[in-house]
Structure 1
Amino acid sequence: MDVSLFYYSQGSACVYLLVYVDDILMMGSDQDLVTQLVSKLSTAFKIRNLGEFGFFLGIETVKCNDGILLSQQRSMNDILKHAGMAECKELSTPISTSKTVVIDTTLYDDPTQYRSLAGALQYLTITRPDLSFAVNQLCQHMHAPTVSH
């Protein structure tokens, strides 16, 4: 099992530690406890504090009155530009719920681009679980995507 999210509590205070390769994100309800844990970690590891984070693994944080909002708006816009769809109109659902897709057996001319976009879309499901079904449908065809996919 590959654990990347850790939780530490002391009384009513809690701290979350997210580890991704060589990046660590730490936040908590008690700044003194966070500082204390960073100090302990720095005795064993070389740590560089980059201050408050604004963008981490494609997720942007926006401060609100009652906490933080996690947003992937910037990543979504980048994906749309990469796909040449930045000017497309929005839909209320990412996949048709009433029409069946006509299967075209003509292979997509750039399967590498298809795989890249499908992979990028997987990251959006972190903050947009409503996209999971549609992204799963795309990922099932990464080995041989067709024009209809």
Structure 2
Amino acid sequence: MRLVLWSNHDDLLTLGFPIMFVIYIRPYMGLSKPLDVFLLQNGFSCTCADTTLFLYMHDSCIIYLLIYVDDYILKGNQESVITSFISRLHNEFNSFLEIEVAYTNDDIFLSQSKYVHDIRDHANILDTKPIRAPLAHHESFTMPRVPFKDPTLYRSLLRALQYLTITRSTFHIQFLEAPTVSHFQGVKRILRYVKGVLSFGLHFTKPNTSSIIGYLDVD
């Protein structure tokens, strides 16, 4: 990604920015305040060039923060200030995806066991036993049922499971509107299932022959 900066001050465009972080967020826990409010309270200002580009300037420190969907690109010239800001961001939003990466000489393995633990903690089912299947036989979610009393919790758990599809692409999300007690029981069953398969993930092996694979996303 190329980041083009516009400014009325020529000296800003000549500064070097050797420090860059890419932050991935998980917005399922319910944000205590909007992100732009948090940034303004922490000394950032929105630029005129783009409403997703924020600027922090204090003494000799300059930091740029670019928001793209659920990714943040953070770049600046003082690592200590950036590290402190990331810590405040983490405390405020609890917003980092834990994708664990295990390397060997021949393969890479991606898993989200810590992320699963966080979701289960949010659902208050850490002590439940694992089960062997995510869906009970002959289960139907389309019949009229008792409405679930906390639809906000239900939807937040579904959004959390959506991010779990990074390493478990077999999960699919349905029934966001008007959740019932049976819908919530189905979500808890899925969370009990993933507890029993924490060792599952994505396994990438080195091919025997060399090849080039191209992938294009957006622009």
**Which bracket does the TM-score occupy, shorter chain normalised?**
0.5 to 0.7
Report the AA paired with residue 114 of structure 1. Y
Structure 1 contact 104–147 (Cα < 8 Å) conserved? no
Task: Please report how far the alpha carbon of residue 46 of structure 1 lies from its aligned counterpart in structure 2 after TM superposition.
Answer: 4.5
2:161 maps to which residue?
Answer: 121
Task: Please report how far the alpha carbon of residue 58 of structure 1 lies from its aligned counterpart in structure 2 after TM superposition.
Answer: 3.0
| TM-score w.r.t. length of structure 2 | 0.39
In 1, the alpha carbon distance for the partners of 2:121 and 2:148 equals 19
Per-residue CA shift, 1:12-71, capped at 9, x if unaligned? Answer: xxxxx99853248xxxxxxxxxxxxxxxxxxxx7587x9xxxxx6331222334243211
Q: Out of 71, 75, 78, which is 1:21 matched to?
A: 71
For the pair 1:87 / 2:127, whether they are aligned, the reply is: yes
Structure 1 contact 94–131 (Cα < 8 Å) conserved? no
Structure with the greater alpha carbon radius of gyration:
2
Task: Please report how far the alpha carbon of residue 112 of structure 1 lies from its aligned counterpart in structure 2 after TM superposition.
Answer: 0.5
Aligned residues: 102
Q: Out of 135, 138, 150, which is 1:99 matched to?
A: 138
> RCO (CA 8 Å, sep 6+): is it higher in 1 or 2?
2
In 2, the alpha carbon distance for the partners of 1:100 and 1:116 equals 23
In 1, the alpha carbon distance for the partners of 2:116 and 2:124 equals 12
Q: Percent identity?
A: 39
Q: Out of 102, 106, 115, which is 1:62 matched to?
A: 102
In 2, the alpha carbon distance for the partners of 1:22 and 1:100 equals 40
Structure 1 stretches lacking a partner, 5+ long: 4-16, 25-44, 51-55
Per-residue CA shift, 1:90-147, capped at 9, x if unaligned? Answer: 2232112x22237452111111000100100001111011223xxx2xxx32221010
Structure 1 contact 108–145 (Cα < 8 Å) conserved? yes
| TM-score w.r.t. length of structure 1 | 0.54
Structure 1 contact 104–148 (Cα < 8 Å) conserved? no
Task: Please report how far the alpha carbon of residue 89 of structure 1 lies from its aligned counterpart in structure 2 after TM superposition.
Answer: 2.1
Structure 1 contact 62–70 (Cα < 8 Å) conserved? yes
In 1, the alpha carbon distance for the partners of 2:126 and 2:144 equals 25
CA RMSD of aligned residues (A): 3.1
Structure 2 stretches lacking a partner, 5+ long: 2-21, 25-67, 84-95, 184-219
Q: Which runs of structure 1 show a deviation greater than 3 angstroms over 4 or more consecutive aligned residues?
A: 17-20, 45-48, 101-104
